[in-house]
Amino acid sequence: MSIIKPSIPSGTRDFGPDQVKKRNYIIDILKKIFELHNFLPIETPAMENLSTLLGKYGDEGDRLIYKILNSGDFLNNLPDHLWKTKDINSWIEYLSDKGLRYDLTVPLARYVVMHRNEINFPFKRYQIQPVWRADRPQKGRYREFYQCDIDIIGTDSLLAEIELVTLADEVFTQLNLSTTTKINNRKILQGIAQWLCVDAEGFIPFTITLDKLDKIGLEDVLSSFKEAGWSDNNITKLKNLINFSSTNKDWSEVEIYLNKILGDSEVGLAGLDEISFIMRNLDFINLNNNLIFDITLARGLNYYTGTIFEIISNEMSIGSICGGGRYDDLTALFGLQGLSGVGISFGAERIYDILEKLNRFPDFITREDKILIVNFGENYLKYSLPILLDLHKAGFIADIYPDEVKLKKQFNYANELKFKYVIIIGEDEIANDEVSIKDMYSGEQVKISKNNIISYLKNKEL
Amino acid sequence: MSIIKPSIPSGTRDFGPDQVKKRNYIIDILKKIFELHNFLPIETPAMENLSTLLGKYGDEGDRLIYKILNSGDFLNNLPDHLWKTKDINSWIEYLSDKGLRYDLTVPLARYVVMHRNEINFPFKRYQIQPVWRADRPQKGRYREFYQCDIDIIGTDSLLAEIELVTLADEVFTQLNLSTTTKINNRKILQGIAQWLCVDAEGFIPFTITLDKLDKIGLEDVLSSFKEAGWSDNNITKLKNLINFSSTNKDWSEVEIYLNKILGDSEVGLAGLDEISFIMRNLDFINLNNNLIFDITLARGLNYYTGTIFEIISNEMSIGSICGGGRYDDLTALFGLQGLSGVGISFGAERIYDILEKLNRFPDFITREDKILIVNFGENYLKYSLPILLDLHKAGFIADIYPDEVKLKKQFNYANELKFKYVIIIGEDEIANDEVSIKDMYSGEQVKISKNNIISYLKNKEL
C-alpha cells in the first residue's frame, strides 16, 4: 500500500489542545449565561434533507450547501435522457437528497414545526453546533465553523429584545471585552424609505446600499443613490439624517427627530414605538457596554421584520461579533404561521480572534496546576499508584510518567506539558514514608509526609 | 412556494432540551475524568479527504462512508469514455474527494502524523465528536452518533493500560453503574491458537468464532471449529480451556494454567507477561467494579496487537459500553512508524440508554431551581427588571414572562417548564417594597422584602 501524505480539506481546521480549551472557554461562558436566562439547549442533525435546506438562502446559498452523495448506484435510476444531457443540474435529485446544515436558523424553524406539540411557547432555545459552507476559503473564513444562536419563538413581546441586549452585555462583560450594540428597526427603515420616496421595490436595494456606509463612507453611499436616480432634495434629506444620527447619540433627541420625519408613515411610527419601548426600559438596567441607535444599520437578511441588532468590538476592527433581529414568520416556510421570533448569533470564531490578539484569554485555561509523578520502575508503583488515585479523588490533574527513563527526560516532559508540580518517590522517600514535591515554577523542592500531600498541595493553591 | 412537510434524514435525530441535558451530563463526567488524568482535547474536521478515509475500514466500511459531492460542474471533467460506461465506481474520483469521518481513530492517526512536531509524546488525547455511517438504520443504531475516545500514543508502557482500566472504573462509579471489565491480550490468543494447531491464516477466523461465544454458546462454537476440520483432541483442549476460564476467576490460578499451555509459544508468553504486569499492579488500586480476565474476548478489529478490553453493564444486557485495546502501528498508515498506542472508546449512546432505563439520571439535570417573574405590564418593569438582573448575578436561572397575559396562563407556563419559584410583583408588593415568592412544589407563598430576595432563596436552596 502506498503511503499517503496526510492533509485535511482546505477551509477546515484541526484544533490542538490549547485551541480547544480556549474555544471551550468562550462556549462555556455563552452556555452558562444562556442557561441563567432559561434558554434551553437543542441539537439537530448535521445532515438535513435537501428539501429542507434548498431555496432558503438564495441561489448563492444553494450553491454553497454541501451535498451528500446518495448511497448505492444511483446511476441505475438516472433516466437515459437525463444521462445523455450530461447536465449536472438535471441530475441533482438522483445524486443527492441530503446536505450539511448551512446555519442554525433553518434547522430551528424545521425543529419548531416538527416538534410544535412538545414545545411550550414562548420557546427559548440555544444551539451551539458547527455549520458548513462550500465558500471560497480565505483568511478568517472557514468551511466548517461554529454558530452559537439563541432565539425566542412565539412572542411579540419586546421584553425578548430587551433580554437579548442584556444577555449580550453580560456575555461581553464576562469575556472582558468592550463593545457597542447598535440597534435599529426594519420598520423605521421602511418609514424612512417612504419619507425619501423610495417605493416598495426599491426598499431592499436601499437597505443594502445604506448598510455599506461603514465600508465605503457617506459620499460614496450618496453617489450610489444619485446614480440610482434620486432627487437632490432626497439626497440632502438622507445626508442630514445620517449626519444627525451620527452626532446625536442621546436617544430622547433622536426620538423627537424621528417622530418628525416619520410622521406620515404608519409602519415607521410603529417601528419607532418599538425602539422607544426598548430604550425606555433598558434605562432600568445598568449595561456595562455601549448601546446606540443606528439609523444606518440594515442587516443583509430579508427575513428580518422588526428590531435588528449588531454588536462590534470597541477595541478591534473586525466586523460584527454578534448580530440578529426579529423575524415575523420564519416557520411559515414549513407551514406554521403566526410565530414571531427574535434571535441573535454570537460569532465565536471572531471573538476567539479578538481575545487572542488582545491577549484576553485568562492564564488558567492553558496553565492548570498539574502534577506529574516520576517513574522509577515497577518496584515503586505500589507506592505511587495509590498516591496518583488520591490526587485524582482530591480533584487534581495528575499523571505518572509511563516509562522508566532518565529523570532528565521526565522533567523535560513536565516542563513541555506545563506541569506545575513534580512528585518524586525514590528509595529514600519510601523509607521515610515521604514524597519530594518540586514546584516547577519556583524551583522550590520540599519533602512532605505521605499523608500530608493533599493538604500541602491544597494549601499551596489557596 | 409549496409548503414542505418537514422531516429529517432517517437514522438521524433531533435532541430536545431534556435529552441534550442528559447527554451533556454523561459527556461532562467523561470530560472531567479525562482531564483529571491529563488527557488533552483535540477536535478534527467533520470532513476528511477520501484519501485519508478509504481503505481503513474494509470494503464494507468504505461503502458506509458518507461522500460529499464536489462543488461545481464535475461532469465537465469526466472523460468521455468513463461517462459512457455509466459505471459509478469508475466516476467516484470526479464526483467526490471528501467524506464525513467514520470514527475518531483514523482522524487521530492522521492528526498525530500531521502534527508530530508540535506534540510531546507520550500524547494523551481525548476527543468527543460525532461520526457518521451510512448504515442501515435500526433500533439503537444511528447514522450520526457521538464517539468519546481516549488514547495514549507513543509509549509501550503497560501503565497506560492500567490507567485506562482505572479511569473507566472512575467513570462508571461516577455514573452510578455497576460494570465488569473484561481483559485479554491478542498475543495470548495467538499463543492459544498455536497450542491448538491453528496456523497463521486461521488466526483471524479463530478469533472471530471465539468472539461469538456470548451470543451462540459453547456448543455452537465448538461445532463451528469441528466443521472447520479441527481434530477432536484440539476441540477438547479448547473446551477444557473455556470451561476452566469461565469457572476460575482468580487471576493467580489462571496465570499458572496459562503458563502451562502457552509454554511453547514465545508470543503467548509475552502476552501473559503483559497481562500479569497489569493484574499485579492493579492490585494496588481499589476498583469499584469487576475486572476479569476473559480468554474468549477477541475484539473484531484486526489492528489490535496487545491488550484488549471490553466493559459490560452488570445490570442490563446491551452489549459492550466501552472497549478498546493496544495497536502497535496505527500511524504507519500515514507514514509514521514505531508509535505504539492504546485507547478505549466510551459508548455514550448505550450509556444513555442504560441510565434512562434504570432511571439513574439524577433529578437535578432536568429539574433545576428556576425562577419565573410574572408580567403585569410595562408599568411594573421598572421594579422587576432589576430584580431579574440581580437573580442572574447571584447565579439563579431566572426569567420574566414576556407577555402581559392572565396570571393563570403564566402559572401554567411555570408548571410546564418546571419553574420552582414564581415571583409576583403587583401593586401591593411595590407599595411595601416587597415581592411575593411562591414555591411551586410545596405551594407555600411568602412575602419577602425586596432586599432579602437573594438571601431568602439561597437559604431555601441549602
Contact list, A88 vs chain B (CB under 8 Å): 73-75
Tell me, rounded to whole angstroms, the distance of Cα B166 from its chain centroid: 17
Contact B38 A159 (CB under 8 A): no
Which site among B19, B71, B152, B391 would you substitute to test the A interface, given the most A Cβ atoms closer than 10 Å to its Cβ?
B71
Contact A69 B68 (CB under 8 A): yes
pLDDT of residue A368: 80
Burial environment of residue A16 by CB neighbours within 10 A (0 to 12, 13 to 18, 19 or more): middle
For the cut 60, the answer to whether the pLDDT of residue B1 exceeds it is no
DSSP assignment of A95-138 equals HEEEEE-S-SHHHHHHHHHHTTTT--SSEEEEEEEEEE--PPPB
pLDDT of residue A49: 97
For residues B248 and B254, what is the distance between their CA atoms, to the nearest angstrom? 7
CB A70 within 8 A of CB B154: no
Confidence bin at A239 (pLDDT 50/70/90) = very high
Contact A41 B52 (CB under 8 A): no
The alpha-carbon gap from A271 to the nearest alpha carbon of chain B, in Å, equals 18
Q: Is the dihedral of CA B196, B201, B203, B205 positive or negative?
A: negative
Q: What residue of B is the nearest CA neighbor of A404?
A: B157
Contact B49 A7 (CB under 8 A): yes
Confidence bin at A386 (pLDDT 50/70/90) = very high
Q: Which segments of chain A belong to CATH 3.40.50.800?
A: 368-461
Q: Taking the domain B17-357, which CATH number applies?
A: 3.30.930.10
Helix (H, G, I), strand (E, B) or coil at B59: helix
For the cut 80, the answer to whether the pLDDT of residue B62 exceeds it is yes
For the cut 70, the answer to whether the pLDDT of residue A231 exceeds it is yes
Confidence bin at B333 (pLDDT 50/70/90) = confident
The alpha-carbon gap from A124 to the nearest alpha carbon of chain B, in Å, equals 10
pLDDT of residue A248: 67
Question: What ipTM score was computed for the predicted complex, to two decimals?
Answer: 0.93
Q: What is the pLDDT of residues B266-276, one digit of tens each?
A: 999 999 999 99
Q: What residue of A is the nearest CA neighbor of B76?
A: A86
The alpha-carbon gap from B449 to the nearest alpha carbon of chain A, in Å, equals 20
A198 or B83: which carries more pLDDT confidence? Answer: A198
Confidence bin at A90 (pLDDT 50/70/90) = confident
- Nearest-CB residue to B381 (from A113, A132, A284): A284
pLDDT of residue A460: 87
Contact list, B169 vs chain A (CB under 8 Å): none
Contact list, A163 vs chain B (CB under 8 Å): 400
CB B39 within 8 A of CB B150: yes
Confidence bin at A301 (pLDDT 50/70/90) = low
Q: Which segments of chain B belong to CATH 3.30.930.10?
A: 17-357
Contact A8 B110 (CB under 8 A): yes
The alpha-carbon gap from A118 to the nearest alpha carbon of chain B, in Å, equals 9
How, if at all, do strands A421-424 and A434-439 pair? antiparallel
Contact list, B55 vs chain A (CB under 8 Å): 1
Q: What does chain A come to in residues?
A: 462
Q: For residue B11, which amino acid is it?
A: G
Q: What is the mean pLDDT of residues B19-45?
A: 97
Confidence bin at A194 (pLDDT 50/70/90) = very high
For residues A387 and A381, what is the distance between their CA atoms, to the nearest angstrom? 10
Q: What is the pLDDT of residues A23-59, one digit of tens each?
A: 999 999 999 999 999 999 999 999 999 999 998 888 8
Where do the DSSP E strands lie in B305-415? 307-313, 320-327, 341-346, 371-373, 398-400
pLDDT of residue A2: 56
How many other C-beta atoms can be found within 10 angstroms of the C-beta atom of residue B139? 4
Contact A9 B49 (CB under 8 A): yes
pLDDT of residue B387: 96
Spell out the long-range contacts of A246-253 with Cβ–Cβ below 8 A and sequence spacing 24 or more. Answer: A249/A292, A251/A279, A251/A293
The alpha-carbon gap from A252 to the nearest alpha carbon of chain B, in Å, equals 18
Quickly list H helices, A37-57: 50-53
The alpha-carbon gap from A44 to the nearest alpha carbon of chain B, in Å, equals 5
For the cut 70, the answer to whether the pLDDT of residue A446 exceeds it is yes
Record the cell numbers describing residue A265, joined without a space: 408613515
Contact A402 B284 (CB under 8 A): no
Q: What is the mean pLDDT of residues A405-414?
A: 95
| CATH class belonging to B368-461 | alpha beta
Contact B9 A46 (CB under 8 A): no
Q: Which residue has the cell 492533509?
A: A7
Q: What does chain B come to in residues?
A: 462
Contact list, B334 vs chain A (CB under 8 Å): 3-6
Q: What is the pLDDT of residues A387-399, one digit of tens each?
A: 999 999 999 999 9
How, if at all, do strands A96-100 and B398-400 pair? unpaired
Q: What is the mean pLDDT of residues A145-152?
A: 97
Contact B130 A46 (CB under 8 A): yes
For residues A266 and A256, what is the distance between their CA atoms, to the nearest angstrom? 16
The alpha-carbon gap from A207 to the nearest alpha carbon of chain B, in Å, equals 25
Q: What residue of A is the nearest CA neighbor of B1?
A: A333
Contact A381 B281 (CB under 8 A): yes
Question: Quick one: which of A458, A281, A265, A382 has its CA closest to B383?
Answer: A281
Burial environment of residue B229 by CB neighbours within 10 A (0 to 12, 13 to 18, 19 or more): exposed
For residues B433 and B388, what is the distance between their CA atoms, to the nearest angstrom? 15
Confidence bin at B308 (pLDDT 50/70/90) = very high
Tell me, rounded to whole angstroms, the distance of Cα A21 from its chain centroid: 16
Q: What is the mean pLDDT of residues B335-360?
A: 95
pLDDT of residue B373: 97
pLDDT of residue A342: 97
The predicted model scores a pTM of 0.94
Q: What is the mean pLDDT of residues B168-192?
A: 97
Record the cell numbers describing residue A356, joined without a space: 487572542
Helix (H, G, I), strand (E, B) or coil at A93: helix
CB A241 within 8 A of CB A195: no
Record the cell numbers describing residue A183, joined without a space: 440597534
Contact list, A23 vs chain B (CB under 8 Å): 43
Confidence bin at B74 (pLDDT 50/70/90) = confident
pLDDT of residue B5: 80
DSSP assignment of B107-166 equals HHHHHHHHTTTT--SSEEEEEEEEEE--PPPBTTB-SEEEEEEEEEES---THHHHHHHH
Question: Quick one: which of B311, B313, B306 has its CA closest to B344?
Answer: B311
How, if at all, do strands A341-346 and B398-400 pair? unpaired
Adjacent-strand bridge partners of A277: none
Contact list, A144 vs chain B (CB under 8 Å): 45-47
Contact B400 A159 (CB under 8 A): yes
Q: What residue of B is the nearest CA neighbor of A395?
A: B36
For the cut 80, the answer to whether the pLDDT of residue A345 exceeds it is yes
| A:B CB pairs within 8 Å | 276
Contact A36 B395 (CB under 8 A): yes
CB A141 within 8 A of CB A135: yes
The alpha-carbon gap from A192 to the nearest alpha carbon of chain B, in Å, equals 28
Q: What residue of A is the nearest CA neighbor of B382?
A: A284
Contact A281 B381 (CB under 8 A): yes
The alpha-carbon gap from B28 to the nearest alpha carbon of chain A, in Å, equals 12
Contact list, B125 vs chain A (CB under 8 Å): 17
- Nearest-CB residue to A49 (from B8, B55, B78): B8
Confidence bin at B4 (pLDDT 50/70/90) = low
